[in-house]
Structure formats: structure tokens, C-alpha cells
Amino acid sequence: MLAALAFSALGCAGGAPAHAQQTAAPQAASGTQSTATQTTTPAQPAAQEPSFFDKAMAWFDPSRAKDNTPVTDAVPYSVTIDVSGDSAARTAVTDASNLDRLKHTAPSGAAGLVRRALADRERIIAALYTEGYYGGRITITVAGVPADAPAAFDAVEAARRAGSVPVVVKVDPGPLFSFGTIRVEDPSGRPLAGAPSPREMRLVPGQPARATAVTAAERIIVTALRDQAHPFARVDGKDVVADHATHTLDVTFHATPGPVATFGPFTVSGTKTLDPGFVTARIDIRPGEPYSPQRLEDLRKRLTAFEIIGSVRFREADRLNAQGQLPIVVEVSEREPRYVGFGAKYSNTDGSSATAYWGHRNLFGNGETLRLESQLTWYAEGSDAVPTADPFGYRVSASFTKPGIFTANEDLVAEAAALREVTNAYVREGATFLGSIRHRFDDDWNAQVGVDLEQSTVQDTYGTTDPFIAGIPVSVTGDTTDNVLDASKGYKFSATVEPFVAFGDSGAGPVMVKAQLSAYHAFDEDKRWILAGRVGAGSIIGPELLDVPAQRRFYVGGGGTLRGFDYQSASPHNAYGIIIGGLSYFTASAELRVRITDTIGIVPFFDMGAAFADEVPDFSAMYYSVGLGLRYYTAVGPVRLDFAIPLNPVAGGSKYGVYLSLGQAF
């Protein structure tokens, strides 16, 4: 026996007889074998009468306001829900039942209880459809009488005198339906060219025929057609036929792809302090290019990377122009140009710091940024290399970025700083400057070349030096991740080559080479299980170890490289046990980020690494640590608390490490 179902945008729709004992899907007349077909005709959504499932799914909306108005003539009741079948059906029915959810909120009068019971029937039908049950039977009685019987009101009135009114819900879900034939047709009834396959629509024949999958398939069809340059693609309707003999659900979608289009002119609106021409210059989509939603998404990502731009919305025209092009309005929302903030970081191995900053996101009207920052640090244990040194340090810096220095793809980036740095290996006091030109190759990759200058006085275990250092750093970076502070997919890569010279020293200048790769993979769609990994390595080529200024050598240990170890401690030491740094390093980390709730997560992790006296890492002399982290997820990113234990601790070093900061470890 076949039954036709019409699905709305939110679920299944179809007439349901008024009696309380009801099959969950309309069926053909008894004793006949026929196909009943019901096709939803194209119509504007605003003109359609809300269907059964529009109403039913709205009942499940958690954003609906609760009515706390005191109930008059309250009728207390007790409810019993009896569901045969598997646990999925029982859970779906119980979750859908307002009789159960609101059992501690008595309805008003006998009519209120009867209305609640009758409404539950439709909610339960909708819940069964979402699990793939289309032949279910539902019986709801109030005070032993069917809820839709004329005597129901009198029965409730009589029963309430004795206490709570008994309400019984009995549900037989019937057989689980699976998907049968899946078709996508054009307006002429022929198979639609370019339509996604049943597997791509997640309507695989033989799999449970959940109603939510059917409605989700509409979005997949439209998305697939828009990806093929059909901006006006739509699904006009669908035929959904339940075959009760084979327990299968056949679905035919009726789709109109609309014309193939190319991009038309772009118009910018919504800017306030930002010059509209700044946005226009960075729209690299030219009129006549094939329409592509992905190109628009890439443009959105690129524009919102500028600090002044808070959001970007594309408003597409409702028709093509005379050239067959689609005009688009780029609506920009700006962020506040000025901002202030502060931060703090604590670690028992790295020392603590407090930071305050002020910034401007649009200094001269073309996306220029300026950030002034001051930081105070405290290295509680003091410096082993300079025991008499004050443990307090500071850093005062100014960072400036000028987008579009030559073309829209080149930016000027500069930072100047005055600092005092206290570590176990050295104490540095001086000034630095780094200026570079950054070129964007595409939305993921860019390169920089610049100049690196430093004039510092450095004290270490071998004395005091103050050479002037100059270098030419060249770097390449790539980033395909989906979130700066909490990535769930993609990778980050950076590599730098910097020849530099310390004036006053003899011999050719060294060349520093380093690279790092981080990768992320979510195992589920909700991103509750994420595997993250990081590996990094570097080498200073050319000089002997002690010919390299102490602040330019490599160090490993602490929250940024090897958790659980003291800052810099997994590095070469001299004969007196003082850290002196190395000419090479290697680090690697792995984390499993598990989100337990929407705001709480745990992160077991493993770190390894060390710095080495030679130019090439010695992998037989590695250090290892394990630990567990706690994450509290906020709107601006996760708050991180990590606890780590060294597996092969450095002699005299820490036995554990604690780290508290904003953002993931990497």
C-alpha cells in the first residue's frame, strides 16, 4: 500500500484525521494497491499556509518564550507514555511530548488539558517522521476516554475531583522505513542535469528514511546548482511516497535551476570611516567571471581579515542585467575604530605577565592599523646566568600596518619595541625594529621580506655584550584553518630564512632557518572531537655556538614549546649547569580536544622536543611530557588551563607545569 506525503520546509506535511487513534502517515483505501501523488506547487513562501510540520517543528523551538502567567482553574494531571519499538523511537516520542515536558505546569480547565493532549498527537507524529517511522499508531486517553471523544471534557471534570487526571499515551511506531527511489526532476519532468546523487544528498537507498534528511536534501540540491553558476536555483516542491508494503520512502524533487549567470558589477555600501574605494580595490572578482558562491565566500573571508571590517553581506540582485550578469551589493559593517584591552598569563615555569594595549583599526581611512602595547613580566626564579639581575622585565611596542602600499596585495608591516627580557640563559635590555613588505598570493598564502634591527646589551654567564644586529628575514606563511583561536580543520605553516650579522664580531654572519606546521582535524560534524598536531624545527648555519648572540640562539622548554619543563630548560647547558642555548631545535605536540559541553572541554596532550648544540638536531636526546588541559569556551575564544608532567625531567628542574591563558596552545 502506498501513501503520499507532502513535506514542508521544516518537515513532513499532510492531513491528519481528527480521531485520537491515528496512523502516522495517510494511507490509500484498505484493500487497494494504488499510488497517491501529491505535488506541492511553486509558490512564494510568504503566501503559503503554515503546514502541519511548520507548526509542529515550531513547537520544538527552544527560543519560544515561556508563559509565566499564573494559570486559572488549573487541572493537575499525571502522564504515562508507553512506546513500543526501539530506544530511538521512545526517546523521540518522549522528547516531543508537551504532556510530559509540561506535566508540572497544569493547563487551564478541562479544555486546556484536552487541547494539550490533541496537540501532542501531531507533535509525536512529527517526531516519528524524523526517525523514519511513517506507519505508527497513536492513542491518547484522558481519564480513560479518547482525547478527541465528546465525552472527554466531562471525564476530565469528573476525574479532577479525585486528584490528578490520568493521561495515557500509547505509541506503536510501526516499521522503520528506508529510502527507496530518489529522483531530481527539472520542470519538464526529466532528470535534472547536474543534480547531486542520492549519496551526495544523504538519501542513500536502504538507509533509514528520516524526514530531516529529506528537507536537508533541498538545501543540498540548491547549493549544488548554485555552485554550477545558477544563482536563482530553487526546489519548487517534492513528491514523497511511503510504500507500506515494502516499508520504503520514494522521494522526487522538482527543481528549477534557473539561468546560468556570470558576475556583474559590485557596489559597496555601509562604510562609515572606511573609504569605499578601499573595499572596491580588494574585490578581485571581475564582471563576466562565472558565478560562484565559493568565490564570494573567499572574498568575504579576505575582507573581514581587515580589522576595521566587522562583517560582510552580499546582496544579490533578483534578476540578471542585460548582459546576463548578476549585480551584487557588498554591504560592509564596520567595527569601532578605537579599542583598548588588557590580558594576563600565568605559568609556574615560564613566569607571569600582564599586558595592556590601545589600538586604532582605521587610522587614516584606508584600513591602517596602529597598536600600542605595554607588558610587564616577572620571572620569579630569577636568572641562573645573571643571579643578581632584577626578575622584572618589560616590553613597550608600537605596531603599524599600511594595507595596499603598492597594490592591493602588498602591505607595509612595522614594529618597534623597547624591552628588558629576563630568562635563565640571559638578561637583555635594548630596542628592536622589524619592518617588512607582505605580499598576498591568495587567500591562504603570503610572503614577507624585510629588515630586522636590534641594539641591545646582553648579559649571560660569559659576560656582557652589546653588538648591533642586522638581518634580512624572508618568510612564507599559509593558513587554511577555520578559526584563529580554536581551529577545527585545516593547517598553518610558516617558514623563515634570515641571514644576519652581529657587527663587531669576526667572520661571516650566520643564517637562521626555521619552520613550523600545525594541522587540525574534527572527527564529527559538531566539532566535539578534534585532533591537533604541531611540529617545528630550526637551525643556525655557519658559526660556532658561542659566536651567536645569546638572544638569537634556540631554546626549548615551557608553555610555548615543551609543557611541564622550566622555560628554556630543555636546551644545552655548560659545564656549570647554566643554560646556553643551541644551534638547532626540534619540537612536536599532539592534542585530543574533547568538548564535553558547549562551554567545557578537556585536552589530553603529549609534547616532545629539545634544543641542541649542533646545527642538526640529535633525536636521541629528546625530552617528553604528558598532560591534561581544561578549556572554558567563551565568545572570544577558549580559556586554557594546562597541567603537564615531564616524563624524563631535567636534573634539578620542575616536576610539573601549570599554564593559564586565552586561546589554544597552538
HEC letters along 174-194: CCECEEEEEEEECCCCCECCC
Cell representation of residue 326: 548578476
3-class secondary-structure state, position 448: strand
3-class secondary-structure state, position 482: coil
- Does the CA dihedral 595-596-602-605 come out positive or negative? negative
d(Cα 256, Cα 258) in Å, to the nearest integer?
A: 6
Using one digit for the tens of pLDDT, what is the confidence trace for 272-323?
A: 999 999 999 999 999 999 999 999 999 999 999 999 999 999 999 999 999 9
Tell how far CA 7 is from the center of its chain. 31
Residue entry with cell 630596542: 431
Classify strands 410-422 and 392-403 as parallel, antiparallel or unpaired. antiparallel
Segment 592-598 long-range contacts (CB within 8 Å, at least 24 positions apart):
592/529, 592/530, 592/531, 592/532, 593/529, 593/530, 593/531, 593/532, 593/631, 593/664, 594/528, 594/529, 594/530, 595/526, 595/527, 595/528, 595/529, 595/631, 595/633, 598/633
Which is nearest to 549 in space by CA: 580, 574, 595?
580
Conformational region of residue 143, where left means phi above 0, alpha means psi within -120 to 50, and beta covers everything else: left
Q: What's the pLDDT score for residue 23?
A: 34
Q: What's the CATH superfamily of 262-334? A: membrane protein fhac (3.10.20.310)
Cell representation of residue 463: 659576560
Cell representation of residue 80: 504515562
Compare 415 and 62 and report the one with higher pLDDT.
415
Class of domain 338-662: mainly beta
Residue 20 reports pLDDT greater than 80 = no
d(Cα 329, Cα 61) in Å, to the nearest integer?
A: 33
Element (H, E) at 53: helix 52-59
Q: What is the mean pLDDT of residues 385-413?
A: 94
- Give yes or no for a contact between 164 and 77, defined as CB atoms under 8 angstroms apart: yes
Residue length of the chain:
666
CA angle 268, 273, 276 (to 5 degrees): 25
Q: What are the domain boundaries of the chain?
A: 1-60+72-260, 262-334, 338-662
Cell representation of residue 322: 542585460
Residue entry with cell 592591493: 408
d(Cα 474, Cα 512) in Å, to the nearest integer?
A: 10
Classify strands 178-185 and 248-256 as parallel, antiparallel or unpaired. parallel
- Residues forming beta bridges with residue 331, ordered by sequence position: 269, 313
Top mean pLDDT of 25-34, 99-108, 504-513 is at 99-108
Q: What is the mean pLDDT of residues 448-462?
A: 95
Burial class of residue 448 (count of CB atoms within 10 Å of its CB; 0-12, 13-18, 19+) = middle
Q: What's the pLDDT score for residue 268?
A: 97
User: Is residue 72 very low, low, confident or very high in pLDDT (cuts 50, 70, 90)?
Assistant: confident
CA distance readout (Å), 207 to 180, 249, 262, 266: 9, 10, 38, 44
d(Cα 242, Cα 174) in Å, to the nearest integer?
A: 13
Burial class of residue 529 (count of CB atoms within 10 Å of its CB; 0-12, 13-18, 19+) = middle
Domains 262-334 and 338-662 share a fold: no
Percent of residues, the chain, with pLDDT higher than 70: 89
Q: Name the E strands within 554-619.
A: 584-595, 600-612
Q: What's the pLDDT score for residue 653?
A: 85
Classify strands 137-142 and 410-422 as parallel, antiparallel or unpaired. unpaired
Q: What is the mean pLDDT of residues 338-361?
A: 89
Q: What's the pLDDT score for residue 87?
A: 87
Q: What's the pLDDT score for residue 69?
A: 55
d(Cα 322, Cα 327) in Å, to the nearest integer?
A: 11
Which is nearest to 581 in space by CA: 461, 452, 420?
461
Q: What's the pLDDT score for residue 505?
A: 54
Cβ atoms within 10 Å, residue 605: 19
Q: What is the mean pLDDT of residues 105-118?
A: 93
User: Is residue 71 very low, low, confident or very high in pLDDT (cuts 50, 70, 90)?
Assistant: low
pTM: 0.72
What one-character DSSP code corresponds to residue 109? H
**Could you write out the DSSP letters of every residue in 226-254?**
HHTT-TT-EEEEEEEEEETTTTEEEEEEE
d(Cα 546, Cα 398) in Å, to the nearest integer?
A: 32
d(Cα 383, Cα 425) in Å, to the nearest integer?
A: 7
CA distance readout (Å), 110 to 161, 433, 474: 12, 80, 79
Residue 481 reports pLDDT greater than 50 = yes
Residues 6+ apart with CB under 8 A from 305: none
Average pLDDT, the chain: 87
